[in-house]
């Protein structure tokens, strides 16, 4: 109990010291990337547990340095045949070991709490920062990271946190305690060891910087090799059908050899030479230090106990410095990667997903009207930016079904992306029920959107899980399980899917990325999900946004799906549908034609609305070329 109370007291003091240090020390001045990890990706609990863990491992480092002192007493007692020295050394060593055992148990508890807290919070923090970005940033060419990159960030953050808390900071603690012990033995011994530490760190930093600079192109080669390998493996059917297996195998060989030559120059040649030089420096300093300590012992300037303390402390410093060089190199490599994520995740988001006026269902909002008021939009950034929509004026009434057609690259999908606020227009406004889209809370507005994307992979879940994925949590809580199942089966029928074809009905798991489904079934499942979302409440505004919803369907399936999308939607549902296949939008209420901007002069509107495909065919020569190419006659 007494030992435990003393340990608690020591810990409270160390905790107070650590807390004051981190409050007064601005980590951003030390390393912006490390500050990003500490402040943005860790919560208060994780930070407190990290400080607790650091305090405990520093205590452990002090005990490791103190152990040789007790052994020194024991050796001194054996040499001088002194029972008192033997007893003191034995009791001191036993006390240190017992304290170490208690501290190890204590540290493991905190270590596990820290691990659980950090591992559970890091993905939340990264996901929160990631989803604060606009949709255009997440999916566009300007994005520096994607989903796999986010997962990579999680691993790198944990590696950095673990290295600092359990390796680097304790390592410097051991070096500091060892230097104190050497200085306690003799001032000259302490000065020699301090000079050795300084020189090793300067040389180690220079070598690490050189290795990072040399390895960067090698790592890029390995990444490029991995990407190409993944692409080749994914395209095995194409490669084998072309009969180019031998050529691809040779490509693999050449890429591997190129990467290995760069790797060999760094690790086999430079790193091996570096190890030899480091050992030679260490041997030189050790020989000088041991000579000095031997001289001091023979001249009775220091005791054998203190000499043993100095020997053990210096050996501890030597091994720790060598480990620190490797750990610092790995940490700096991870921090360099984290810097890429910090640059794009830390800047303030242009808008927040759940901020704005709630889109509530009330008397004047039981339908959805849309208006594009002088909208201009561009894609890309800086020199790569390109204006794709210019001065678009378009009004869509509640319950209206509108087809959007035009040549590829004209901006049809961009028009739809503005409605989900993937990005904001550079000029003009997008109005929903007469209110600027930027004033609505997207979380409440998108609750009433059914979105069908041109390309969308299902999730590894059941059929029901995929249908409910896009449904707001505000709606799922309103219905019982049986009601949800009934709505799910109805939504599947509307999309042309037979529930009986699934082994376990709507509870059938469709596999990774929906591999158990055909391409057409995947597309129909996405259409069914839109039906499911719109059917959650009976008295709600509804909007369908569809980008090539029947692209993966045969003609017969297209007829079934379009019948439900056009004729059997809930009353008052507004719909916008982009299509290249003109038969898909033949029966829409209106047709919107989008011209490529480069074909428009200052007097020609880029976006025009027409009552039918026939009217558009008569009015637009460019559309006639498109229709004739498809053999379509309105």
* pLDDT tens track for 86-111: 777 778 778 877 887 887 888 788 88
Cα 72 to its chain centre, rounded Å, is 52
Mean pLDDT of the 171-184 span: 87
CB of 73 closer than 8 Å to CB of 131:
no
Radius of gyration of the chain (CA): 34
CB of 377 closer than 8 Å to CB of 413:
no
Give the pLDDT confidence score for residue 372 in this predicted structure: 93
- Residues 290/293/294/295 CA torsion (nearest 10 deg): 120
Percentage above 90 pLDDT, the chain: 4
Task: Give the count of beta carbons closer than 10 Å to the beta carbon of residue 181.
Answer: 25
Q: What is the largest CA-CA distance in the chain?
A: 115
Instruction: Tell which residue, 344, 325, 431, has the closest CA to residue 143.
Output: 344
11 phi/psi in degrees, rounded to 5: -65, -45
Cα separation, 470 vs 451, in Å, equals 9
Q: How confident is the model at residue 236 (pLDDT cuts 50, 70, 90)?
A: confident
In degrees, rounded to 5, the angle at the alpha carbon of residue 118 between the alpha carbons of residues 113 and 122 is 160
Helix (H) / strand (E) element for 554: namely none
Cα separation, 601 vs 451, in Å, equals 33
DSSP 116-175: HHHHHHHHHHHHHHHHTS-HHHHHSTT-S--HHHHHHHHHHHHHHHHHIIIIIHHHHHHH
370-384 pLDDT, tens digit per residue, is 999 999 988 776 677
Res. 297: pLDDT tops 90: no
Res. 85: pLDDT tops 50: yes
Contact residues for 629 (Cβ-Cβ < 8 A; gap 6+): none
Task: Give the count of beta carbons closer than 10 Å to the beta carbon of residue 419.
Answer: 21
Res. 25: pLDDT tops 60: no
Copy the structure tokens of residue 561: 């799906």
Q: DSSP alpha helices (H): ranges in 265-303?
A: 272-298
Cα separation, 311 vs 76, in Å, equals 14
Give the pLDDT confidence score for residue 320 in this predicted structure: 86
More confident residue, 445 or 30: 445
Contact residues for 615 (Cβ-Cβ < 8 A; gap 6+): 591
Mean pLDDT of the 449-455 span: 78
Cα separation, 345 vs 8, in Å, equals 40
108-155 pLDDT, tens digit per residue, is 888 888 888 877 788 888 777 777 776 665 554 444 555 556 677 778
Model pTM score: 0.66
């Amino acid at each position: 109990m007494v030992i435990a109370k003393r340990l608690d007291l020591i810990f409270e003091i160390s905790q107070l010291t650590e807390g004051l240090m981190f409050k007064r020390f601005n980590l951003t001045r030390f390393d912006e990337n490390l500050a990003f990890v500490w402040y943005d990706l860790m919560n208060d609990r994780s930070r407190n547990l990290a400080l607790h863990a650091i305090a405990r491992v520093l205590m452990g480092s002090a005990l490791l340095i103190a152990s040789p002192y007790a052994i020194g007493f024991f050796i001194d007692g054996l040499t001088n045949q002194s029972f008192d020295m033997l007893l003191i050394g034995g009791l001191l060593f036993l006390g240190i070991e017992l304290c170490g055992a208690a501290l190890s148990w204590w540290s493991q508890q905190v270590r596990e709490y820290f691990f659980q807290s950090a591992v559970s919070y890091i993905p939340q923090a990264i996901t929160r920062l990631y989803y604060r970005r606009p949709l255009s940033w997440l999916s566009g060419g300007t994005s520096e990271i994607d989903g796999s990159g986010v997962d990579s960030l999680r691993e790198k953050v944990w590696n950095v946190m673990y290295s600092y808390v359990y390796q680097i900071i304790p390592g410097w603690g051991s070096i500091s305690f060892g230097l104190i012990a050497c200085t306690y033995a003799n001032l000259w011994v302490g000065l020699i060891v301090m000079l050795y530490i300084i020189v090793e760190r300067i040389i180690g930093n220079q070598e690490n910087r050189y290795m990072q600079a040399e390895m960067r192109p090698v790592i890029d080669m390995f990444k490029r090799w991995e990407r190409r390998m993944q692409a080749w493996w994914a395209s095995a059917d194409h490669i084998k059908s072309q009969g180019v297996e031998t050529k691809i195998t040779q490509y693999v060989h050449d890429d591997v050899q190129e990467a290995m030559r760069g790797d060999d120059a760094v690790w086999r040649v430079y790193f091996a030479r570096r190890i030899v030089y480091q050992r030679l420096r260490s041997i030189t300093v050790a020989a000088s230090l041991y000579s000095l300590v031997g001289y001091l012992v023979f001249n009775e300037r220091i005791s054998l106990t203190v000499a043993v303390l100095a020997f053990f402390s210096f050996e501890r410093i030597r091994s720790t410095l060598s480990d620190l060089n490797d750990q610092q190199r790995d940490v700096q490599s991870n921090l360099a990667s984290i810097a890429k994520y910090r640059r794009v995740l830390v800047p303030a988001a242009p808008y927040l997903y759940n901020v704005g006026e709630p889109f509530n269902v009330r008397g004047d909002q039981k339908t959805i009207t849309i208006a594009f008021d002088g909208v201009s939009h561009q894609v890309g950034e800086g020199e790569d930016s390109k204006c794709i929509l210019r001065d678009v004026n378009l009004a869509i009434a509640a319950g209206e079904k509108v087809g959007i057609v035009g040549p590829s690259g004209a901006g049809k999908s961009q028009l739809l992306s503005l409605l989900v606020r993937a990005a904001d227009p550079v000029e003009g406004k997008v109005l929903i029920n007469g209110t600027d889209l930027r004033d609505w809370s997207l979380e409440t507005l998108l609750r009433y959107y059914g979105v069908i994307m041109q390309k969308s992979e299902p999730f590894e879940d059941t059929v029901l899980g995929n249908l409910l994925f896009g449904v707001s949590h505000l709606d799922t809580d309103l219905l019982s399980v049986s009601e949800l199942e009934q709505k799910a089966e109805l939504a599947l029928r509307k999309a042309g899917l037979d529930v009986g074809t699934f082994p376990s009905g709507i509870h059938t798991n469709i596999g990774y990325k929906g591999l158990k489904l055909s391409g057409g079934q995947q597309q129909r499942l996405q259409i069914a999900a839109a039906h499911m979302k719109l059917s959650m409440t009976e008295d709600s505004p509804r909007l369908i946004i569809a980008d090539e919803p029947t692209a993966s369907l045969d003609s017969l399936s297209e007829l079934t799906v379009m019948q439900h999308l056009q004729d059997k939607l809930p009353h008052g549902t507004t719909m916008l549908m982009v299509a290249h296949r003109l038969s898909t939008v033949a029966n829409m209420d209106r047709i919107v034609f989008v011209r490529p901007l480069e074909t428009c002069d200052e007097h020609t509107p880029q976006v025009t609305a027409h009552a039918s495909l026939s009217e558009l065919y008569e009015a637009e020569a460019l559309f006639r070329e498109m229709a004739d190419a498809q053999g379509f006659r309105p």
